[in-house]
Amino acid sequence: QQQVKQSPQSLIVQKGGISIINCAYENTAFDYFPWYQQFPGKGPALLIAIRPDVSEKKEGRFTISFNKSAKQFSLHIMDSQPGDSATYFCAASVSGNTPLVFGKGTRLSVIA
Amino acid sequence: ETGVTQSPTHLIKTRGQQVTLRCSSQSGHNTVSWYQQALGQGPQFIFQYYREEENGRGNFPPRFSGLQFPNYSSELNVNALELDDSALYLCASSLGRGLSSYEQYFGPGTRLTVT
């Protein structure tokens, strides 16, 4: 049973455009929702994270939108750049210091 | 501040052999979690160590075992290797207490190939 469903599987965006990746979760006990960025041959890097007490969090060009009632959250990358081309994973955990449950990933390609 | 490091980078083993992977946690972190990432998939939780004690385990068989040392570095041991064990093994470190305990920082991983 997949607890975090991520879509789309792959995404192609023009340089300067907005990249949007969506995740849905089932476990209402989840209270921490990070996004990770992974380049080929590297480990996942923590990009941005949100707790359910806020509906949006923005850091630079990256924004998380969170909808608690729909059990969905999404990552928006504004002004997408070729350097943003990577695989993005959403994840969730129940509380601090507990395992992260990951989505299957979205391969983003930003083309000039 | 030193990040999470893992060794070796790559490893090739034969089915039935045993392997040990190593991880040094980020400075100040006392918790280490291990994940297995198959090609094209998200990481899957194997187990976690907090202050040298196992603090949770995922759906992996007992031939996957681990240790955490007093300096909070950690080992992952896999016995009787199977072809399906071929994957990227990731170590993540975190603080054990407080809001910052939510944040897990990953190392570069060890790519294990079982032939």
Residues of chain A positioned with their CB less than 8 A from the CB of B102: 32, 34, 49, 93, 95-97
Residues of chain A positioned with their CB less than 8 A from the CB of B48: 97-99
Q: Percent of chain A, pLDDT > 70?
A: 96
Q: How far is B12 from chain A (nearest CA, A)?
A: 16
Tens-place pLDDT, residues A85-110: 999 999 999 876 689 999 999 999 99
Residue A12's pLDDT is what?
98
Burial class of residue B60 (count of CB atoms within 10 Å of its CB; 0-12, 13-18, 19+): middle
User: Could A93 and B44 be called an inter-chain contact, meaning their C-beta atoms sit closer than 8 Å?
Assistant: no
Tens-place pLDDT, residues B82-98: 999 999 999 999 987 65
CA distances (Å), origin A25, targets A3, A102, A112, B60:
6, 10, 33, 23
Mean of pLDDT values over A4-9: 97
User: Could A99 and B102 be called an inter-chain contact, meaning their C-beta atoms sit closer than 8 Å?
Assistant: no
Mean of pLDDT values over A73-96: 95
Residues of chain B positioned with their CB less than 8 A from the CB of A32: 102
CB count within 10 Å of CB A10 equals: 10
Rg (CA), chain B: 13
Identify whether the C-beta of residue A10 lies closer than 8 Å to the C-beta of residue A106.
yes
Per-residue pLDDT of chain B (115 residues; tens, 9 = 90+): 569 999 999 999 999 999 999 999 998 889 999 999 999 999 999 999 988 999 899 999 999 999 999 999 999 999 999 999 999 999 999 987 655 568 899 999 999 999 9
Residue B98's pLDDT is what?
59
Q: How far is A66 from chain B (nearest CA, A)?
A: 17
B89-99 burial: b if 16+ Cβ within 10 Å, else e:
bbbbbbbeeee
Put simply, the chain A residues between 11 and 70 with a CB less than 8 A from any chain B CB are 32, 34, 36, 41-46, 49
Residue B97's pLDDT is what?
65
Residue A36's pLDDT is what?
98
Residue B99's pLDDT is what?
59
DSSP A15: T
Residue B33's pLDDT is what?
94
Q: How far is B108 from chain A (nearest CA, A)?
A: 4
Q: Using CA atoms, how far apart are residues A73 and B83, in angstroms rounded to an integer?
A: 36
User: Is the Cβ of B105 closer than 8 Å to some Cβ of chain A?
Assistant: yes
User: Is the Cβ of A104 closer than 8 Å to some Cβ of chain B?
Assistant: yes
Q: Percent of chain A, pLDDT > 90?
A: 88
User: Could A96 and B58 be called an inter-chain contact, meaning their C-beta atoms sit closer than 8 Å?
Assistant: no
Instruction: For residue B108, say if its preceding peptide bond is cis, omega within 30 degrees of 0.
Output: no
User: Is the Cβ of B62 closer than 8 Å to some Cβ of chain A?
Assistant: no
Q: How far is B93 from chain A (nearest CA, A)?
A: 10
- pLDDT grade for A2, boundaries at 50, 70 and 90: low
pLDDT at residue A34 above 60?
yes
Identify whether the C-beta of residue B56 lies closer than 8 Å to the C-beta of residue B68.
no
Tokens read off for B92 = 């993540």
- pLDDT grade for A1, boundaries at 50, 70 and 90: low
User: Is the Cβ of A3 closer than 8 Å to some Cβ of chain B?
Assistant: no
Identify whether the C-beta of residue B92 lies closer than 8 Å to the C-beta of residue B76.
no
Q: Which amino acid is residue B67, in one-letter code?
A: L
Burial class of residue B18 (count of CB atoms within 10 Å of its CB; 0-12, 13-18, 19+): exposed
